[in-house]
Amino acid sequence: MAKPVVAIVGRPNVGKSTIFNRIVGKRVSIVEDTPGVTRDRLYSSAEWLDHEFNIIDTGGIELDDDDQLLKQVRQQAELAIDEAHVIIFIVDAKAGLTPADEEIARILYKSQKPVVVAVNKVDHPKQRDAVYDFYALGFGEPVPVSGVHGTGLGDLLDKVAESFPEQEEEDYDDDVIRIAVIGRPNVGKSSLVNALLGEERVIVSDVAGTTRDAIDTMLERDGQTFVLIDTAGMRKRGKVYEKTEKYSVLRALRAIERCDVVLMVLNAEEGIREQDKRIAGYAHEAGRGMIFVVNKWDAIEKDERTHTLFTRQIRDHFQFVDYAPILFVSAKTKQRIHTILPKVKAVAEQHALRIPTHVFNDLLMDAITLNPPPTDKGRRLKIKYGTQVSVKPPTFVLFVNDPELMHFSYERYLINKIREAFPYEGTPIRLLLRKK
């Protein structure tokens, strides 16, 4: 079930990144007292009371070399409008209502999306009178907040949550395997989906970002039903989207939430980009099964070392997903396309694999005997016992004397030991620590 998306918009230096960080609960965005310092659009998951949602910080989107502020603000707002369910429009109490605010308001008003106005920098009760000017924007009662002090954010999020769309439960059967096809624009996601389906079900074009929205397609192979969630590209909206490839992350995020296994598509011709790592990182954090699919393998010149070198490159760049198998295919020539669905099925089975508690504890005790936990300031971690608490991804709880004594290297050692004993190919493994 996909989470609602909240976008934070506003002109530069009104405090978008500060409020984003407050809502997310950790310092994710770079914050400096300089207009346009946020160098990257950022996405994060957040929650308020019993609501989970994704949030975008659109601060300082730099699309053009010339410094046309209103043009950039308009483009920023348009991007947010296209992707978000609810928009937080941040204005500055100290600066008052500006022409740029009115310009953003006009764009947002046309969108007919729910908009909540947050008047930032109301750092003292005496400044609350500044809020009244912003009623003129036409979005109802503005909410006074202070990004610096964190005040008013509860009221803001209450109002945002009221506008979340009703969550629709998906009616797929439990044995259906849902596959998200993710990756940067123009790596060949739509072509790959078509090759898997064996028919032209998704529009394919050489122009990046021509698929207008995520499309679910069901197919059956050897008695197994799959659902393909195609996230290809981004919505096409003039030149803006051609210059904002990074926005494809949000499209991928939505599909990742709804799937069991991710096909992380890489372009053999272009090699690995920073954006590939970011998208794969979201799938890893979400705990989904993952397979690297290197597409356009037919288009590069090869010798006997090409395959090995590209594999090593993937392992070097994606060390955090060293569990994911790698397939080299060509959607265009259908080369090795037939290997994808059997591998997806195998990964889905590992993703849902459960180990009996007594077997897991035997494995755990053997690992501890072979390599006892190191000491930390004279204290040693003691692991009493463990049990698997969930699947998709496989998640284990370890009962210990003090969770603080677990070093990440020892946690990695234990995960490696679990992988040695059980295949768990293509799936992350989670270890949770509880004080006994």
For residue 162, CA distances in Å to 38, 369, 378 come to 29, 54, 52
198: left (phi over 0), alpha (psi -120 to 50) or beta: left
Beta strands in 373-429 (DSSP E): 375-376, 379-380, 383-390, 395-400
Is 54 known to sit in a ligand binding site?
no
Is 280 known to sit in a ligand binding site?
no
Which residue in the block uniquely carries the two structure tokens 């503005």? 142
Is 2 known to sit in a ligand binding site?
no
Is 58 known to sit in a ligand binding site?
yes
Is 10 known to sit in a ligand binding site?
yes
Phi–psi pair at 431, nearest 5 degrees: -115, 125
Separation between Cα atoms, residue 274 and residue 295, nearest integer Å: 17
Give the neighbor-by-neighbor strand order of the sheet with 143-144: 42-48, 51-57, 5-9, 86-92, 115-120, 143-144
Is 234 known to sit in a ligand binding site?
yes
Is 212 known to sit in a ligand binding site?
no
Is 204 known to sit in a ligand binding site?
no
287: left (phi over 0), alpha (psi -120 to 50) or beta: left
Is 371 known to sit in a ligand binding site?
no
Is 401 known to sit in a ligand binding site?
no
Is 59 known to sit in a ligand binding site?
yes
Is 330 known to sit in a ligand binding site?
no
Query: Beta strand pairing status for 383-390 and 395-400?
Result: antiparallel
Is 362 known to sit in a ligand binding site?
no
Is 206 known to sit in a ligand binding site?
no
Is 18 known to sit in a ligand binding site?
no
Per DSSP, the residues of 213-251 read: S-EEEEEEETTEEEEEEE--S---BHHHHHT-GGGHHHH
Cα–Cα nearest to 405, from 433, 425, 364, 363: 433
Is 238 known to sit in a ligand binding site?
no
First-residue to last-residue Cα distance in the chain: 34
Can you count the helices (H) and strands (E) in the chain?
Answer: 12, 17
Cα–Cα nearest to 33, from 12, 3, 47: 12
Is 16 known to sit in a ligand binding site?
yes
Is 230 known to sit in a ligand binding site?
yes
Is 189 known to sit in a ligand binding site?
yes
Is 278 known to sit in a ligand binding site?
no
Cα–Cα nearest to 288, from 315, 267, 259: 259
Is 361 known to sit in a ligand binding site?
no
Is 345 known to sit in a ligand binding site?
no
Is 186 known to sit in a ligand binding site?
yes
Tokens for 418?
């679990």
Separation between Cα atoms, residue 27 and residue 223, nearest integer Å: 47
Is 231 known to sit in a ligand binding site?
yes
Phi–psi pair at 184, nearest 5 degrees: -65, 160
Is 185 known to sit in a ligand binding site?
yes
Separation between Cα atoms, residue 271 and residue 268, nearest integer Å: 5
Separation between Cα atoms, residue 221 and residue 210, nearest integer Å: 28
Is 12 known to sit in a ligand binding site?
yes
Is 147 known to sit in a ligand binding site?
no
Give the amino acid at 275: Q
Annotated binding site for GTP: 10-17, 57-61, 120-123, 183-190, 230-234, 295-298
Going by the annotation, the residues of the binding site are: 10-17, 57-61, 120-123, 183-190, 230-234, 295-298
